[in-house]
Structure 1
């Protein structure tokens, strides 16, 4: 199948798994998992406990796992996050696959998660292989136009070289930049996460939890583009950010965990 035929859209079961009637359970599960993570529970076992308690399907568990974070992590990310106006005149480093896959999903009707830390995250995965889709060029263009509007002084894209087709995507990004006279550097490196975390003089563009936790400062470009209407007309955003508070009262998940601590 060529890129002209591929999309990064919704899974056939997503309408049922992420419909409005499922939202309360998903929000409560996100709140429960966030509480457990904030109290030192291991992510894998905590997610199983919450998923079993709320009878979540595998894809719903994946969503809750991506959306949840403890209070301390949320506050740390909020503190290091910059507003859009603070990108003007700054060097920017872009977590390439992380950003583009989310924008591709937004443009093709895939499920997007508005997570507890404010990030927009997609439900796709790039595990060793990436294939361009119909929306790839539009995603690159949307990111480029917005970065130009925000006045970034320089833009350095990083892609994972072990991921297949990273070289082809790098060339595609370079060609888009050249067509619009954007002075971008595009590089495929073995471990972009390490380089992004080490970038002390640049604003990091990513929604990867490990990257934003380690970055000195970061900007939520995917959320900026998707929530402000710069990408697509009606992206499918599942709001798990405003999960119901579980304090001072406790859910049954939390009560059972207190019993077994």
Structure 2
């Protein structure tokens, strides 16, 4: 996509830095985005990339303090933010762009607005997650999906079938508000959702770990630091 061609990356890096600076100064997310993105004349998809990649200094510090690295997984009980992780791996497999945010999280631009549609890459994405976690020695895994999202029931059934076939003993649950359990629970949380990252006890950048350890071919755009030029 021309929106994320090499010639535009520096602009997106500048925009992410500027939005992060405004957030650090206490400005609201929407007004910060509008001010900066209007100045750079960014499209809606470019704005979304900047919004998902930016964070304040306080958010950055808190997230870093609570982050567990992939190599530290070590058979810890894990709760997976189902749509968040699965859709990112699906995006990689379908050739979508993955953005490294200021907090180091790897995120896609897809979003679930009330409905989820199984795609060609869904089964492969679930199997990749399962294989990678098995190799890492993680067996106590709880998947959470938003029950208000249509087709969540079908996805739960599909994942349960894949797990049974591979002898993975997973707990898969549909909840009205998965964020609440991830924030208040004691399990290590696998998500890149900013709201959860700022409030949960500990989290892991699972999608990034899987992409790297499984050597998946990803279209990565790094918006994590200062502009390259």
TM-score bracket, normalised by the shorter chain, equals over 0.9
Q: Distance in 2 between matches of 1:55 and 1:107?
A: 30
2:117 paired with 1:123: no
| Structure 2 unaligned spans of 5+ | none
Aligned residues: 228
Q: Distance in 2 between matches of 1:58 and 1:217?
A: 32
User: Rg: which structure is higher?
Assistant: 1
2:220 paired with 1:237: yes
2:122 paired with 1:139: no
Over the aligned positions, Cα root-mean-square deviation in angstroms equals 1.2
CA contact (8 A) 1:106 1:231 kept: no
2:9 paired with 1:26: no
Q: Distance in 2 between matches of 1:63 and 1:140?
A: 25
**1:250 matched residue in structure 2:** none
2:213 paired with 1:222: no
Of residues 15, 30, 46, the one that matches 1:44 is 30
**2:68 matched residue in structure 1:** 82
Deviation per CA, 1:152-205, whole angstroms, max 9, x where unpaired?
2400000000000000101111111111111100011110000111112x1100
Deviation per CA, 1:120-162, whole angstroms, max 9, x where unpaired?
1111110100000000001101111111111124000000000
Q: CA deviation at 1:72?
A: 1.3
CA contact (8 A) 1:103 1:231 kept: no
Q: TM-score, normalised by structure 1?
A: 0.85
Rate the CA distance shift 1:231–1:172 in 2: closer, same or farther, 3 A. Answer: farther
Q: CA deviation at 1:229?
A: 5.2
CA contact (8 A) 1:107 1:231 kept: no
| Structure 1 unaligned spans of 5+ | 1-14, 246-261
Q: TM-score, normalised by structure 2?
A: 0.96
Q: How does 1:101-116 map to 2 (within 5 A)?
A: 101-116=87-102
Deviation per CA, 1:219-243, whole angstroms, max 9, x where unpaired?
11111122x15263x2111110123
- Describe the SS at the equivalent of 1:56: coil
**1:176 matched residue in structure 2:** 162
**1:259 matched residue in structure 2:** none
